[in-house]
Structure 1
Amino acid sequence: MNNEEQLVEKYVTYSLELNGKFILIENVPARVNEETGEQFFAPSTVMLLQKIILDGQEPKRVIQTPVYSYAA
């Protein structure tokens, strides 16, 4: 089976950390590898994600996120 057959069109939540803040963008179209969970985005989707992030648009909502330290 090749990779193409394992990819499924889905809507995902895109996340990144920028300048110490986490940003989430919901309902982003992606092709997802069902086996590995790896997400692939079309170039036009990536451009729109960058525009949303860099334009500093008002977010739909804001959430608080707990942060824990991993101590071995």
Structure 2
Amino acid sequence: MTNDSNEILVEQEVTYTLEMDGKFFIVENVPARVNIETGEQFFSPDTAERLQQIIWNSEEPVRMIETPVYKFAA
């Protein structure tokens, strides 16, 4: 699939991440069109709306993960 800029976009399922109010949210298996050269992800309006519903409505997660946090010190 291509658009006017000759970018090649492919349909894939991606992992969407968001930081909001000091919390991280991860949504797996999200349908997206992905630019194969840059990795940029494009979501349909319906998908974007569903992502908002999942996160803003605090739906029950399928699992929880623990992740380390590091400080970048120069």
TM-score for both structures, normalised by structure 1: 0.93
Q: Which amino acid aligns with 2:63?
A: R
SS of the residue aligned with 1:61? coil
Give the helix-richer structure, 1 or 2: 1
Aligned counterpart, 2:24: 22
SS of the residue aligned with 2:19? strand
Aligned counterpart, 2:53: 51
TM-score for both structures, normalised by structure 2: 0.91
Percent of paired sites with the same residue: 61
SS of the residue aligned with 1:47? helix
| Cα distance in 1 for residues equivalent to 2:67 and 2:30 | 21
| Cα distance in 2 for residues equivalent to 1:60 and 1:12 | 16
Aligned counterpart, 2:43: 41
* Unmatched segments (≥5 aa) in structure 2: none
Cα RMSD (Å) of the superposition? 1.0
Q: Which amino acid aligns with 1:56?
A: S
* Unmatched segments (≥5 aa) in structure 1: none
| Cα distance in 2 for residues equivalent to 1:2 and 1:57 | 38
Q: CA deviation at 1:66?
A: 0.3
Number of matched pairs: 70
- Runs of 4+ deviating beyond 3 Å: none
